[in-house]
Structure 1
């Protein structure tokens, strides 16, 4: 033992190194018990230990280090020992400096700007991020419009079986689907726009059967007209987008109509206006 480790105020058998090890939890259980017994007999040494513990607690508070839980083990090169935390270890309160108001306001503005930037950047991806549920004119698209878009995506890539009944049996196709939908249907001509009827099929709708008519131009591009009964009635004309696909849809006289295709929005709208008019709708209400 070095003389530097000896203090005349300490009881026999104790030195600064032993007390330091006691405070740091580096003693074996037997050594700790021996020191505790001596401290009970020497209040001066106990006061010194209490002061060191208070200093240690203050350093932990300044450094942001958490206190060890009661009864936790302290690991050193000699093995696991009881931690220094005990009932008589002084408690402390961590005080964090509050940011000035102008810093908080600046931080809030920064987050607001970041959110706006992300909204602009992710806007074109919204149909994908929301599973295709995106209405170009605001709000959620009606369910039948989403069904029409899905039906377009599923059946238009088909080369051998894109429809159930071909256009060569147009009369049978119209009678069959009219009977199933319990509504007299007609198939508008799109020859003016370069699209010929391929045929049609019966599909399940939201609350009953639905019909899909498919058209194709000379380059192989396809459009579909989806028709189904719907209880909701309105004259609004809306746009639904998913990737490069667009669907203009409307409701007229208890029926929902949706024209879907990957063509330019303006051209598809013009076709939709003519289709609505041919089916007895009032597209002038959209203007």
Structure 2
């Protein structure tokens, strides 16, 4: 007989008062042979079986109260103890709530002051919805290797004619060759209130830029920057058309390209108000 079998040896007649053996049985701490003997005895001793069921019910209630079980309990039953925390007095709870209220107010004030000092398009200035759509379209389509566009640059005239018809106004595709970017192609996208177009460019290193074009009801003269992660989008509105140039390159470089793109599309970058 092993040491464990000796520790939990059963009497000839197991009684409900034998707390140690029954408790070890419920907690799954009996050796396999002894456990089998307890199961056999419980089948013949209704009083002991009733005691075991009562203790199991107690442990189930404790499990519900605790809201969780340990690794052992997950297999053999609910936890064997509960930690009860005494609620703090009412005056302490009120003081703590007041402290958190003061901290929250201070943080709100600090964030507001910080936002007022940040560039347009950053925290505190909501970018126009088409700029957000342009950023999402960039994130979705530029990683594509086999199908980044619907119509390739080899069919540029067809691409321009098709998208011009869908957007109901003549479009042109700016050249970015002087910046090292060649046209990959373009695609039709759903805009906020109608169709939108996306033109994609790529340089020799595989880095990509996109130009997003869509109709828009506003017609303000403005130039704004929208940042999302490592991506930047310069966007503007001209003649009820919204334009957004997106890419992960440096802010200064992207701004330079955006100014040229705006000019080539009939805009007046000199009138932009940043």
Normalized against structure 2, the TM-score is what? Answer: 0.58
- 1:220 partnered with 2:202: no
Where does residue 63 of structure 1 map in the other structure?
none
**Pairwise mapping of residues 126-205 of structure 1 onto structure 2 (< 5 A)?**
135-136=121-122, 138-205=124-191
Local SS of the residue matching 1:273: helix
Aligned CA-pair RMSD: 3.1
1 CA distance for matches of 2:90 and 2:144?
68
For structure 1, list consecutive stretches of 5 or more residues without a partner in the other structure. Answer: 1-93, 98-104, 124-133
Shift of 1:136: 2.3
Q: Does 1:207 align with 2:158?
A: no
Aligned CA distance change for structure 1 residues 95 and 270 (closer, same or farther; 3 Å): closer
Matched, 1:286 2:272: yes
Runs of at least 5 residues in structure 2 that lack an aligned partner in the other structure: 1-88, 93-97
Secondary structure of 1:223's counterpart equals strand
Conserved 8 A contact 1:137-1:239: no
Cα distance, 1:208–1:153 mapped onto 2, change above 3 Å? same
Task: Kindly name which structure, 1 or 2, has the bigger radius of gyration based on alpha carbons.
Answer: 1
Tell me which residue corresponds to 1:69.
Answer: none
3-state DSSP of counterpart to 2:213: strand
SS of equivalent residue, structure 1 residue 241:
strand
Query: In the aligned structure 2, how far is the partner of 1:234 from the partner of 1:143?
Result: 14
Work out which of the residue numbers 215, 225, 229 in structure 2 matches 1:229.
Answer: 215
> Residues 151-192 of structure 1, C-alpha deviation per residue, up to 9 Å, x if partnerless?
000000000000000000001100010011011000000011
Report what 1:240 is aligned to: 226
Return structure 1 stretches of 4+ with deviation > 3 angstroms: 94-97, 105-117
Q: Residues 116 and 175 of structure 1: is their aligned pair in 2 closer, same or farther, counting only changes over 3 Å?
A: same
Equivalent residue of 2:226, what SS? strand
Say which SS state the counterpart of residue 256 (structure 2) adopts. helix
For 2:150 and 2:203, locate their aligned partners in 1 and report how far apart those are by CA, in whole Å: 19
State the TM-score, normalized to the length of structure 1.
Answer: 0.56
- Shift in Å, 1:286: 1.8
